[in-house]
């Protein structure tokens, strides 16, 4: 039996306090060393007990460039205590994206990571963008270094034979959500779901129309990125 382990790595980002603000404020996004050309901006505003985030980003490459297990991008709100909350999937249109999201958090930083599907609960260490305070940011803003944990790259395929991990060529006619669902089922199979949660796994496979024993190499006719 394979031995499963989860390795996490630490990283820090700037958490901005948006509490007690009247009106919206602007922040910027810049690419990390993994995607230095990426850039963007967001309008952040307090609305009826929640914080509304209206973000636009450009010059993002497909998530598949970081490995065949990554299909999409996800935006995360990171609290000063280091807790990460999934606030929405970043869907690309070409190399651009527009995301409207909300969070009940008052003080947080925003990052974007590559992920295998949109519903992940812990960010990967493939951090491609982070927020920063711009010259047009108005009002008094408290910046806090927020340290948080990330899943190290390779954790999803830790016990998988290299021959089973094939690059995906996505068919534009097939919804990305279906590929992500199939990817989630495949990852579950790699971690022993067929043995430890057989009924649930069988239902998930049927919903995704994946025949028994299907691998990435032959289950996708031909590719896009949470």
Model pLDDT for residues 29-86, shown as the tens digit of each residue: 999 989 999 999 999 998 877 899 999 999 999 998 888 888 899 999 998 888 899 9
Q: CB neighbours (10 Å) of residue 8?
A: 13
- Does residue 6 carry a pLDDT above 50? no
Please name which of 226, 26, 193 lies closest in space to residue 113, comparing C-alpha atoms.
226
Q: Categorize the per-residue pLDDT at 20 as very low, low, confident or very high, splitting at 50, 70 and 90.
A: low
Q: Across the chain, what does the average pLDDT equal?
A: 77
Residues facing residue 93 across a β-bridge? 96
Read off the pLDDT of each residue in 108-114 and give the average, rounded to a whole number.
92
The secondary element (H helix, E strand) that includes residue 28 is strand 25-31
Residue 222's pLDDT is: 28
pLDDT recorded at residue 60: 96
Cβ neighbours for 192, distance < 8 A, ≥ 6 positions apart: 4
For residues 106 and 96, what is the distance between their CA atoms, to the nearest angstrom?
Answer: 27
The predicted model scores a pTM of: 0.71
Output 8 or 219, whichever has higher pLDDT.
8
User: DSSP label at 152?
Assistant: P
């Amino acid at each position: 039996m394979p031995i499963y382990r989860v390795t996490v790595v630490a990283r820090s980002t700037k958490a901005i306090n948006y509490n007690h603000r009247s009106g919206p404020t602007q922040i910027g996004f810049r690419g990390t060393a993994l995607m230095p050309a990426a850039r963007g901006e967001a309008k952040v505003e307090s609305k009826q007990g929640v914080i509304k985030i209206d973000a636009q980003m450009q010059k993002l490459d497909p998530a598949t460039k970081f490995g065949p297990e990554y299909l999409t991008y996800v935006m995360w709100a990171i609290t000063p205590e280091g807790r990460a909350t999934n606030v929405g999937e970043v869907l690309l249109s070409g190399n651009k994206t527009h995301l409207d999201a909300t969070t009940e958090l008052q003080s947080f930083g925003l990052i974007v990571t590559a992920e295998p599907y949109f519903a992940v609960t812990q960010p990967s260490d493939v951090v491609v963008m982070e927020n920063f305070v711009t010259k047009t940011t108005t009002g008094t803003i408290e910046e806090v270094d927020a340290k948080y944990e990330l899943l190290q790259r390779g954790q999803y395929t830790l016990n998988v034979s290299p021959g089973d991990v094939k690059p995906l060529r996505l068919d534009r006619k097939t919804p990305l959500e279906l590929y992500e669902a199939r990817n989630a089922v495949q990852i579950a199979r790699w971690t022993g779901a067929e043995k430890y949660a057989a009924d649930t796994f069988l239902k998930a496979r049927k919903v995704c129309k994946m025949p028994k024993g299907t691998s990435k190499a032959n289950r996708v006719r031909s590719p896009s990125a949470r």
